Amino acid sequence: MKINSFINSLTKFPSEVKNKQIKGSSFGDTISGFVKEVNDEQNESGKLIQDFIEGKDVELHEVMIAGEKAKTSLQLLMEIRNKALDMYKELTRMQ
């Protein structure tokens, strides 16, 4: 997961963004990429679970690690969503 790149995109200075001095992806692209990564981790976890059930060469600890990683990524995504909504609500109240 590219959390560092996500955090870096959030910490750009407004003047740099306004003057377009920083070249990079937009906030929407960053969120879309993050959602895609979370989805990929969920799919990988599901695939490992299915392989384990079918008796393929997958260890239980690999299944558990993939499941926890997917769970944690989803929780982080939900918290980011909640904070973004709170920020939007606060900005609309300020106007």
Q: What is the tens place of the pLDDT at every residue in 26-65?
A: 888 888 999 999 999 999 999 999 999 999 999 999 999 9
DSSP at 11: T
Whole-structure pTM value: 0.68
Q: What angle do CA 10, 14, 17 make, to 5 degrees?
A: 80
Asked if residue 42 lies in contact with residue 71, where contact means CB atoms within 8 angstroms, the answer is no
- The pLDDT, as a whole number, for residue 26 is 85
